[in-house]
Chains A and B, each alone.
Chain A
Amino acid sequence: MNFDMDLFSQALLQRAPGHIAEHLQLVIIPLVLAILIAMPAGILLTRPAYRHHGRRVMSVFNAGQTIPPLAVIALFFPLLGLGYGPAILALTIYALLPIARNTVAAISAVPAEVKDAARGMGMTPKEILFRVELPLSVPTIMSGVKTAAILTVSTAVLAALVGGKGMGAIIFAGINFFRFELVLAGTIYIGLMAIVLERALSLLEGLLTPAHLKNRHGAHRRAA
């Protein structure tokens, strides 16, 4: 197979950039939807009234994550048909799992004596959630969001298979016509998007993380 440099640079500089916006839509919309669904669901699963369901729901979530992304899309194909909407839906469902799982894990990991003290000082359950449990859970929840984001960037490629467009369009065109140049150009953008998204979310995480968990080393040095 010969590598056509002209085709590659044309794909890299002209065709692929046109799919970036589409692809980011396929990532950001499902991610935001997943956060809006999975975080409240995860929080709910740690409330006393629902806690006993927690283990069962989490094992469903864990099992869900072992299903390959293509299978998720294939699974929904007969139900929802083809197009942009079904792709968004499938990607949202796939992104739910890491976020919900990390939300539950993070809130469950808040030390019992800390919650107990908060209650003993007279904080209401709502105050405990927003002033104690969630701040302490930021790092773990954010790492779930990052996992979901990177997963969605690559999984969204498959959206092209059900007519959902995105960077997958150019990659699958490359595969269908045996043009490796197109596949490579598309893949480079997928990688870049994953890296940029990860960095952006890390910055956000830095802003949200409570101070005592940041530069623990530096804090110790100051104390010494």
Chain B
Amino acid sequence: MIHFDQVSKTFAASQRPAVDRITLHVKQGNICVFVGPSGCGKTTILRMINRLVTPDGGTITIDGRSIMQMDPPALRRTIGYVIQQVGLLPHRTIAQNIALVPELLKWPRDKTEKRVLELIEMMGLDPSEVGHKYPHQLSGGQAQRVGVARALAADPPIMLMDEPFAAVDPIVRLRLQDEFLRLQQTVQKTICFVTHDINEAIKLGDYLVVLKEGRLVQTGTPIEILTQPEDDFVLSLLGDDRGVKILDLTRAETLMEPFENRLGPIKSNGHRVQSIDPVKIALEMMMQKNTDEILVCKGTRPVGILRWPAIKTHVNRISGGTV
């Protein structure tokens, strides 16, 4: 849906390109997460999609049409943008801030009002309490959620989200991430999401783009990147607990010993997980219950047994014996 072909950008004041010959494809309905250290060009890439930054090389197309042929304000009204610094308009109430794009698109008033209420609720805020407030009266986390609501207002097919959960505490962040994933199940938007938090990237991304100094280092699904990191940079970005992260993305059924291959009666200690549960859950259960095997079930039917040595071997194999 969004396609980058050899896109580059060097800002006037600097010698080094901020974005260096990036080629990538973001699929319809996918969450594509751009991840990398500060200054690696994540924001710049996002801002090229809605033409806030003009590339000085390469082409970007949306549904096959070059964005350079589109009128920038019209293009931006079809792309939801959550900016890193939030940027709510200080002289407009929260409700008026969220209503901004529908207003620009000349929606009928009652439709806009209904939409605004719906969004404030969707963000877990109380419309009667927050709607008439001004941005300076909100906490950082509340303002950030209003920024997300504003971007969603006109129901754009594409969303650009620049560290939208950065200003909230870790607990609220986890909740917002869960809500975000649930929301995405129903709205199925094409989302370009920026974060420098690798855990957030792994949790939310259908597809990850790892960047370093404006260059694309590696792309792939979270499990592909976790299991086959391209180089030391990606390895260090993934962190020392890469093995545990992998276990979070590996289903219990992939490491279990299936019962078809097993002779003899099934003996069980009563602890069980579902076959699609992450191995990490089984591991936590093993530690809590002080056992080294867990029954794996499909519904109520036992399908296999997951043993500690199998998990250990798996982690050792993919992380080269470092865990």
Residues of A within 8 A of B (CB): 111, 113-114, 116-124, 127, 132, 135-136, 210-213, 216, 219-220, 223
Q: Does B89 contact A (CB under 8 A)?
A: yes
**Contacts A120-B52, A223-B137 given: A113-B77 contact, CB under 8 Å?**
no
Residues of B within 8 A of A (CB): 47, 50, 52, 72-77, 81, 83, 85-91, 100-101, 104, 133-137, 150
Supply 20 further A-B pairs (C-beta < 8 A) apart from A114-B87, A122-B104, A223-B133. A113-B85, A114-B89, A114-B90, A117-B83, A117-B87, A120-B50, A120-B52, A120-B76, A120-B83, A121-B77, A121-B104, A122-B72, A122-B76, A123-B73, A135-B91, A136-B90, A210-B91, A212-B91, A219-B134, A220-B137
Which of A117, A119, A121, A211: most chain B CB closer than 10 A? A121
Contact of A116 among B72, B83, B91, B150 (CB under 8 A): B83
Contact of B77 among A122, A213, A220 (CB under 8 A): A122
Which A residue sits closest to B153, measured CB to CB?
A: A121
Which B residue sits closest to A124, measured CB to CB?
A: B73
Q: Which residues of B contact A132 (CB under 8 A)?
A: 89, 91
Q: How far is the CB of B74 from chain A (nearest CB, A)?
A: 7
Which B residue sits closest to A212, measured CB to CB?
A: B134
Q: Are B91 and A211 in contact (CB-based, < 8 A)?
A: yes
Q: Are A120 and B91 in contact (CB-based, < 8 A)?
A: no
Q: How far is the CB of B73 from chain A (nearest CB, A)?
A: 5
Q: Which residues of B contact A124 (CB under 8 A)?
A: 73
Which B residue sits closest to A127, measured CB to CB?
A: B104
Q: Are A117 and B90 in contact (CB-based, < 8 A)?
A: no
In the complex, the 6 A-B pairs of residues with the closest C-beta atoms, listed nearest first: A117-B87, A210-B91, A122-B77, A122-B76, A113-B85, A212-B134
**Contacts A121-B76, A121-B101 given: A113-B137 contact, CB under 8 Å?**
no
Q: Which residues of A contact B135 (CB under 8 A)?
A: 212
**Contacts A113-B86, A212-B90 given: A122-B101 contact, CB under 8 Å?**
yes
Q: Are B104 and A117 in contact (CB-based, < 8 A)?
A: no
Compute how far the CA of A121 lies from the CA of B47 in the bound complex, rounded to whole angstroms.
Answer: 12
Q: How far is the CB of A27 from chain B (nearest CB, A)?
A: 31
Q: Which residues of A contact B136 (CB under 8 A)?
A: 212, 216
Q: Are A136 and B91 in contact (CB-based, < 8 A)?
A: yes
Q: Which residues of B contact A219 (CB under 8 A)?
A: 134, 137
Q: Which residues of A contact B89 (CB under 8 A)?
A: 114, 117-118, 132
Q: Which residues of A contact B83 (CB under 8 A)?
A: 113, 116-117, 120
Compute how far the CA of A162 lies from the CA of B72 in the bound complex, rounded to whole angstroms.
Answer: 55
Q: How far is the CB of B285 from chain A (nearest CB, A)?
A: 46
**Contacts A117-B89, A219-B137 given: A123-B52 contact, CB under 8 Å?**
no
Q: Are A211 and B134 in contact (CB-based, < 8 A)?
A: yes
Q: Are A122 and B91 in contact (CB-based, < 8 A)?
A: no
Q: Are B104 and A123 in contact (CB-based, < 8 A)?
A: yes
Compute how far the CA of A211 lies from the CA of B50 in the bound complex, rounded to whole angstroms.
Answer: 31
Compute how far the CA of A220 lies from the CA of B72 in the bound complex, rounded to whole angstroms.
Answer: 38
